Structure 1
Amino acid sequence: MSNNTSQSCTIAPPNIPSDAGIAGAGILIAFITTATLALLLSSYLTLSTLRPSASSRIISLTTTIVRQLLGGLSDQQLISGISIQSLALARLHTITPYHFFIIWMLSLLSTATNFAALLALVQDFKRDWVLRWLRQAAMFVNMGLGVVLGVLVLEVQLKKLPETMAVGCVWDEGFKQADLEKEGGNNVLSVVGTIAVIAASAIIFALGTWYLHLRVQIWGRFVRVVSLVILWAVAVAATVRVVTVSQAFGTPSVELADEGERQWSFGQLLSLVLLVLPLISALEIYRGQLKVAACEGEKGEVVESDQVPLTAGGNGKASVNRFTYQPNPWFK
């Protein structure tokens, strides 16, 4: 390890710079809002199966939109969780325990969101073995990274690493626990809680894997509801911790050199603007797929208008009714 790194692991700086790319207000709001929306959609689909109602076109359309939206939000949360955890490990020798802990909490929020979506969309994944194993691989990577981050958080707590030092200093020879013992440290409750969260992540992954590859559905309604409540509890606890310890909304556990995480920049605003995409997707699913107009095909049969080729038929002349144009009802 370089001399500069060893020196930084010997003397604890008085403060650390902020990092709006990790704990900025816009980033946290966008992450939490996406997870909350996915959890609400998962709850709707899971609870709607408890009392199946009479089939109707409105219910069918609503369920289709919700399932497609939830699938996209679940994938987004899974990719975001893996990406942000990979970033934390890549910056192990520069990132401090403050930002590292926030990333770990966001990864737990991502995990709870994805397993809640699994409860609602498990039949969609079972129908295709490629989608099922892609989901399995992503779940394994997400769980593995979460456990690694949890172990590092535990190392920071056990070795009483000061909040202003990089997480990678727990293995540095320049770090002297005896000399810095008064400057850092956590109580026994935090250590026990960290171990419990690591164990819970592994247990949730094992149960989720078993549920994903189960050929015949044997989990009853009660078990699904209990699982959903537990996942909601994990998500709420992780969100509360992020809000309370972040500079953007609460009181950080370490002194920051500036107010960068409270300031709004283009990156912060962009994260919030992108929250409009699920609403646009829902409108496109409803108007573009579920209400697509029918028209006359090549041989007179009725087909969906989006399946009609762009060129004319064999006689070189397109039928008047082949291409359906829906006029604006207010400006016909």
Structure 2
Amino acid sequence: MSANCTEAPGTIPSDAGVAGIGVLLSFIVTAAISLVISASLIFQETRRSTSQKLSTLRRKLLNSYSDQQILTGIGIQSVGLAKTSSMVPYHFFLVWMLSLLSMAVHNATLLALARDFRRDWVLRWMRQILMLANLVLSCVYGVYILRGVQRGLSDETFPITCVWQDSTPNGPAPSNEGISFAGTIAVVAGNVVIFALATWYLHARTRRLYTVFQIVGLLLMAAFSVGATVRVAYLADAFSGKAPVPLADDGEREWSFGQLLSVGMLLLPLVSTVEILRGEIKCAPPVAADQYDSDDKGQLLGVEEQELRTNNGGRGTGTADFQPNPFWGSQTNLFRK
């Protein structure tokens, strides 16, 4: 369906699929739970207590919530791009904020569970691919938002694709145009920098300044999450009831089945936790940081250390705290076997 970019409609229909109260709450609650668990794991790790075991259940729960958040973030961004001919900048901006929230949660999880991912090259590169997909989609959204700010269409009822049409009349310049433009550029550039740092952190062999990087990174991701949450709460009709564009109905504030389902999905990771407690799923405890230099024989995610050494062609010695992929790299060098 082609978009009408010459005459703005007086009102627009609500879009509960991307801005409904259940969808927004599921993102916000998941982010809060994940950040709290990440902080608790990082704090426990920095204590360096040899008598204290890291919690397997919390790590499993955090991994599940993080996977759910980043996959949902990628999915909702894909839906938004597929609906550019009908989605207005207001909804498009909310989707972008939710994607930033999911990215912050995933990066915070990476800070807490990076050692687990390093010990399995499949998990490590799966995370890398998801991070890249989320970054590319987020940057595309940032470009659309920048164009909308430039043409004064951020609070108009034209579809978001109209920001590229010369036939679309420019809207009035907002009073905070300079701040919005500079802030959007800063967010996009910050996402690229954070992605580069997260990639280095995920594949790094060194442990220098490891704790400092964890604490600073966690504080930064928490700030990102709080900022995105405040922006969503202030802007979304589901919370404030004061959307910047006239909505034809109150669908985003109603608790429909889809909204209840979004919130209900928060319970899924708890099922794995119960299964672990009941012994249905075997999940080996992680290895503490101060035990990496010893000859540990433990398991991680059901993979024995001896199997990891075998998959590495017998080249690994000591603990398998980093498993290189079978195509290039080694435990000590990223580019050479």
Give the TM-score of the pair, scaled to structure 2.
Answer: 0.79
After superposition, what is the alpha-carbon deviation per residue over 1:193-236, rounded to whole angstroms, capped at 9, x for unaligned?
11111111111101000111112222332232111101000001
Instruction: Please state if 1:47 is matched with 2:32.
Output: no
Determine the structure 1 residue equivalent to 2:28: 32
After superposition, what is the alpha-carbon deviation per residue over 1:218-277, rounded to whole angstroms, capped at 9, x for unaligned?
233223211110100000100111111001101211111111111111111112222222
Supply the distance in 2 between the matched residues of 1:29 and 1:216 (Cα, whole angstroms).
38
Supply the distance in 2 between the matched residues of 1:291 and 1:170 (Cα, whole angstroms).
52
Determine the structure 1 residue equivalent to 2:299: none
Root-mean-square deviation (CA, aligned residues, Å) is: 1.9
Determine the structure 2 residue equivalent to 1:276: 267
Supply the distance in 2 between the matched residues of 1:10 and 1:33 (Cα, whole angstroms).
40
Determine the structure 2 residue equivalent to 1:9: 5
3-state SS, counterpart of residue 158 of structure 2: coil
User: In the TM superposition, what are the counterparts of 1:124-163 in structure 2 within 5 Å?
Assistant: 124-161=116-153, 162-163=155-156
Determine the structure 2 residue equivalent to 1:253: 244
Percent identity of paired positions between Structure 1 and Structure 2: 48
Determine the structure 2 residue equivalent to 1:19: 15
Instruction: Please state if 1:230 is matched with 2:226.
Output: no
Amino acid at match of 2:156: E
The range that moved more, 117-126 or 265-274, is 265-274
Count the aligned residue pairs. Answer: 281
Instruction: Please state if 1:288 is matched with 2:284.
Output: no
Amino acid at match of 1:237: G
Structure (1 or 2) with the larger CA radius of gyration: 1
Unaligned runs of 5+ in 1: 293-332
Determine the structure 2 residue equivalent to 1:174: 167
Supply the distance in 2 between the matched residues of 1:118 and 1:111 (Cα, whole angstroms).
10
Amino acid at match of 2:230: V
Q: Name the CA shift for 1:55/1:286 in 2 (closer, same or farther; >3 Å).
A: farther
Instruction: Please state if 1:69 is matched with 2:34.
Output: no
Instruction: Please state if 1:165 is matched with 2:163.
Output: no
Instruction: Please state if 1:213 is matched with 2:209.
Output: no
Could you tell me whether the CA contact under 8 Å between 1:159 and 1:185 is conserved in 2? no
Supply the distance in 2 between the matched residues of 1:65 and 1:202 (Cα, whole angstroms).
32
Q: State the 1:185 CA deviation.
A: 7.8
Give the TM-score of the pair, scaled to structure 1.
Answer: 0.80
Supply the distance in 2 between the matched residues of 1:199 and 1:219 (Cα, whole angstroms).
24
Q: State the 1:186 CA deviation.
A: 5.2
3-state SS, counterpart of residue 274 of structure 1: helix
Unaligned runs of 5+ in 2: 284-337
Could you tell me whether the CA contact under 8 Å between 2:77 and 2:95 is conserved in 1? yes
Determine the structure 1 residue equivalent to 2:76: 84
